[in-house]
Amino acid sequence: MRRNYSKQREEIRKAASVIGVHPTAEEIYSLVKEENSTASLSTVYRNLHELVKEGELKELILPNGVKRYDADDSEHNHAVCNCCGKIFDVDIVIEGLEQKIKELQGFQMNGYHVIVEGICQNCGRKEGAKNVKKIIRN
């Protein structure tokens, strides 16, 4: 059950869910602003913080420091393309991770989140095409 229910908080949670592509606070703000002209960016940031704290949203801090939000509450990890910046849900469980960390470090895990970096299939095809053009030109 959500604490501190407010209409604006619900609009922000809904916007994060509707956008559905791991939006930034600014993207969420743009959508909320269309519906509620009195909303401010600081209100969006404050409510996103509360929604994350309450477990309604996940906050992803990408390797470049950008924060994005995920309304999907299922257990999953993410992959981010270093070329286009697109974020993909990755439904892979790392078997034995918790036990191995406990054995090696004496650390009791209560969860984990992995962000894998690389190049997506679409950008990989584009890069492959660029490399072929370079070879043909030389």
Cβ proximity of 15 and 61 under 8 Å? no
Residue 79, Cβ density class (10 Å: 0-12 exposed, 13-18 middle, ≥19 buried): middle
Classify residue 117 by its DSSP letter: E
What class is the 1-73 domain?
A: mainly alpha
Interatomic CA distance for residues 87 and 84, integer angstroms: 9
Q: How many CB atoms lie within 10 A of CB 83?
A: 13
Q: Which CATH superfamily is domain 76-138 in?
A: Ferric-uptake regulator, C-terminal dimerisarion domain (3.30.1490.190)
pLDDT in tens, 4-16: 568 889 999 999 9
Q: How many CB atoms lie within 10 A of CB 62?
A: 15
pLDDT band at residue 126 under the 50/70/90 scheme: confident
- The answer to whether the predicted template modeling score (pTM) of the entire model surpasses 0.85 is no
Domains of the chain: which residue ranges?
A: 1-73, 76-138
The three-state secondary structure class of 122 is helix
pLDDT in tens, 36-65: 778 899 999 999 999 999 999 999 999 889
